[in-house]
Structure formats: structure tokens, C-alpha cells
């Protein structure tokens, strides 16, 4: 009896399917490149490396800024509800929103997709989301990696990681060293959960059914703040910034304030959202909410008091900034007053 020969495909890795995906990504990327063909090599996708020409950006004393991130266990909810068209936007948002904390303009993005078994239909939806996120951030998807890893991941499981590079003029870098006593801490609303705290969300969902009117909140894509924040950087209206992600409001703000100064936050000023109120009602303390979720604040900026009205003019009504506290000279590093108004 003739023995069946082993092959890569039989072991669970389908190279021909992966090549089809690469061609699909290249086709989408080339469409996005037409307006910026002076900075991007159109043959990047599928090559060994990706090229981006920064010589024509006309930025004085340029500094390169890079960051990487993922979307955590929000992926599991995407799998549960079979909705894959927004998770790619989340991936881009988590990276570019970190990048602009430095005052940097996103240039290009690379993705890493690891799967147990490559599903072309699902992966195409994820890629479309990534490209949409890049468009919203005014940057380009120029490369990436898709790894089929049978045995490491089950057939339905996948993971995502993103990597973004940006650029900023040296004199435009946002730095906490410029912060002074009495500077304002200004909140910019989130549009919901964004991409943090989903292990706790999933734990709650294991025991509670989410109300129908809140179900869409679970996979709403993370708000991208690139356009608004870069406009403020251009006009020198902010000193420092914080992307409110894992660790919540306090921990992320502390990363943007010098050691010799403290922060005071009036929690009653926070305009939280219905999804957070529902989660809070499931036996989660306020302290736990604050260190796990953004609680309605997706981004914070620190600025002089006189700049506040100008700052507001750069945002739509939905994302209108508001003051939640100030920077102080106090021995106690964190000063929280009042409580969030959770009833909604």
C-alpha cells in the first residue's frame, strides 16, 4: 500500500490561499496610494520589505516615532457575534492614538494577523477595516504578515497586532516638561468601550445578557483622534496628551505629567455613557471601573486655561472637550474628588 505523502497543506498551512490574500491586499492598497504615489512604493505589498520616502515631507528637524499595539480580547466578541468589519479599525486606532500623544503625524502602518486556519472571507473583512482605519488616520497600510498557525490557535481563533510609524518636527514634540501648576486637564469623549477592558466585559456577559439597545456598543470601533489632535499641535494649543487605554484615566494621565506635579480630577464632571453604567451595575466598584475602562473619556490633553475655547473649536459637538481637573503642586500625586454620576 502506497504511503500518503506529507505536505505543508495537509499539516494545516495553505500557501496558495495566503497568496490570494496578499494579492487582494495589494489591490486595495494600490487604490489608496494613487493620491500619495510620491512617498510610497506601489510594489511594497508582497515584497520582503516596504519603502516609504520621507524626503518630500518638508518637516524641519524630523523625528521618527513608532508604536505597536493590539485589540486584546475584543477579538473574542468579534468571533462570537460574527462581525469582523470593524476590528481592523480598532487595531489602527490603538496605534495611531498612541502616536499622536507625541504630536506625531502617522505615516504608515503594518499589520500582523495570526490564525489557526485562514478564512479568506473573514480576513478580507479585517483588512478592509484596517485600510479604513488608515484612511481615517491619513496614513498608509504598506505591509504586514499573515501567519497560519495550526495547533497554536484553534481553527476559529485569530489574533491581531499593529505597528505604526509617524513623524514630528523636533520643536513640535509634546512634552510633559512644559506643564505648569494650574494647567487644565481637558477630556475628549470616547465613543464607547474602545478596545480595553474586554476580559472584564466578557466575564460580565458570561452571567448577564446585554440589553438589545446596548449590544451594538460592544463592537463599536475605537474613535480615531488624529485629525483633531494634530490640528491642535500645529497651532501650539496643547502641552501634553494621554490616550486613555489600559489602566484607565488616572494611570494614563500620570504618564503625561512631570514627577514634581500632581493631578486633581473632579469625577462628577465625567460624562459617562450608558454602556459603562450598565457594566457598573453588575457589581463592579467605581475604582475598578476607573482602572479598567475609559468610562467615557478616550483622550486627554493638558493646556493653558486661555486656550480652552480655541481647543473646543476644533471638535464636533459629539466629541466636544470639557474640563475635568487641573495640574497642581501637591505632595499627593493623585487627588480625586466627588464621584461619577452613573445613573443613566
Dihedral sign of CA atoms 215, 218, 221, 225 in order:
positive
Is the pTM higher than 0.85? The answer reads yes
Considering only CA atoms, which of 276, 245, 261, 266 is closest in space to residue 332? 261
What b-and-e string marks burial along 219-252, b requiring 16 or more CB atoms within 10 Å of the CB?
Answer: bbbbbbbbebbbebbeeebbbbbbbbbbebbbeb
Which pLDDT value is given to residue 6?
A: 60
Beta strands at 334-337 and 262-266: parallel, antiparallel or unpaired: parallel
Model pLDDT for residues 265-297, shown as the tens digit of each residue: 999 999 999 999 999 999 999 999 999 999 999
Query: Average pLDDT, stretch 111-123?
Result: 91
Query: Average pLDDT, stretch 57-68?
Result: 93
The kind and range of the H/E element at 25 are helix 15-33
Query: Average pLDDT, stretch 245-256?
Result: 94
Low-confidence winner among 19-23, 74-78, 97-101, 293-297 (lowest mean pLDDT): 19-23
Which pLDDT value is given to residue 4?
A: 58
The kind and range of the H/E element at 148 are strand 140-148
- Which CATH number fits the domain 15-35+59-172, given the four candidates 3.40.50.620, 3.40.190.10, 3.30.1330.10, 3.10.129.10? 3.30.1330.10
Query: Average pLDDT, stretch 224-251?
Result: 96
Is residue 90 within 8 A of residue 121, CB to CB? The reply is no
Alpha-carbon distances of 64 from 100, 286, 300, 330, rounded to whole Å: 12, 39, 23, 35
In the chain, where does the domain assigned CATH 3.30.1330.10 lie?
15-35+59-172
Q: Which fold has domain 176-337?
A: Phosphoribosyl-aminoimidazole Synthetase; Chain A, domain 2 (3.90.650)
Position 230 pLDDT exceeds 90:
yes
What's the chain's average pLDDT? 90
Strand partners, 323: 186
What is the share, in percent, of the chain residues with pLDDT greater than 70?
89
Model pLDDT for residues 76-94, shown as the tens digit of each residue: 999 999 999 999 999 999 9
Which pLDDT value is given to residue 242?
A: 97
Work out the pLDDT band at 204, boundaries 50, 70, 90: very high
Position 42 pLDDT exceeds 60:
no
In the chain, where does the domain assigned CATH 3.90.650.10 lie?
176-337
Low-confidence winner among 107-111, 151-155, 181-185, 217-221 (lowest mean pLDDT): 151-155
Please give, one letter per residue, the 3-state secondary structure of 27-96. Answer: HHHHHHHHHHCCCECCCCCCCCCCCECCCCCCCCCEEEEEEEEECCCHHHHHHHHCCCCCHHHHHHHHHH
Work out the pLDDT band at 14, boundaries 50, 70, 90: low
Query: Average pLDDT, stretch 107-133?
Result: 93
Which pLDDT value is given to residue 21?
A: 72
Amino acid at each position: 500500500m502506497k504511503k500518503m505523502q506529507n505536505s505543508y497543506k495537509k499539516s494545516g498551512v495553505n500557501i496558495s490561499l495566503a497568496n490570494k490574500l496578499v494579492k487582494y491586499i495589494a489591490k486595495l492598497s494600490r487604490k489608496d496610494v494613487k493620491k500619495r504615489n510620491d512617498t510610497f512604493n506601489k510594489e511594497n505589498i508582497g515584497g520582503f520589505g516596504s519603502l516609504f520616502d520621507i524626503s518630500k515631507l518638508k518637516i524641519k528637524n524630523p523625528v521618527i516615532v513608532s508604536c505597536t499595539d493590539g485589540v486584546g480580547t475584543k477579538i473574542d466578541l468579534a468571533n462570537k457575534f460574527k462581525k469582523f468589519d470593524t476590528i481592523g479599525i480598532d487595531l489602527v486606532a490603538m496605534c495611531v492614538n498612541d502616536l499622536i500623544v507625541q504630536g506625531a503625524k502617522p505615516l504608515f502602518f503594518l499589520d500582523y494577523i495570526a490564525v489557526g486556519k485562514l478564512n479568506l472571507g473573514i480576513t478580507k473583512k479585517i483588512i478592509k477595516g484596517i485600510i479604513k482605519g488608515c484612511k481615517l488616520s491619513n496614513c498608509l497600510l504598506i505591509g504586514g504578515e499573515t501567519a497560519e498557525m495550526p495547533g497554536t490557535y484553534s481553527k476559529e481563533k485569530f489574533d491581531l497586532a499593529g505597528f505604526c510609524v509617524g513623524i514630528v518636527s523636533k520643536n513640535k514634540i509634546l512634552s510633559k516638561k512644559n506643564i505648569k501648576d494650574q494647567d487644565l486637564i481637558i477630556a475628549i469623549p470616547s465613543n464607547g468601550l474602545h478596545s480595553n477592558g474586554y476580559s472584564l466585559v466578557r466575564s460580565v456577559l458570561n452571567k448577564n445578557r446585554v440589553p438589545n439597545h446596548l449590544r451594538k456598543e460592544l463592537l463599536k470601533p475605537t474613535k480615531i483622534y488624529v485629525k483633531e489632535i494634530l490640528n491642535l499641535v500645529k497651532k501650539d494649543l496643547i502641552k501634553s496628551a494621554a490616550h486613555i487605554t489600559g489602566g484607565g484615566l488616572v494611570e494614563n494621565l500620570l504618564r503625561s505629567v512631570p514627577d514634581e506635579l500632581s493631578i486633581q480630577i473632579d469625577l462628577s464632571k465625567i460624562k459617562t455613557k450608558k454602556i459603562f453604567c450598565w457594566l457598573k451595575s453588575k457589581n463592579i466598584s467605581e475604582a475598578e471601573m476607573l482602572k479598567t475602562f475609559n468610562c467615557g473619556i478616550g483622550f486627554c490633553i493638558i493646556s493653558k486655561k486661555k486656550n480652552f475655547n480655541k481647543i473646543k473649536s476644533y471638535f464636533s459637538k459629539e466629541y466636544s472637550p470639557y474640563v475635568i481637573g487641573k495640574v497642581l503642586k501637591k505632595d499627593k500625586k493623585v487627588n480625586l474628588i466627588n464621584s461619577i454620576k452613573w445613573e443613566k
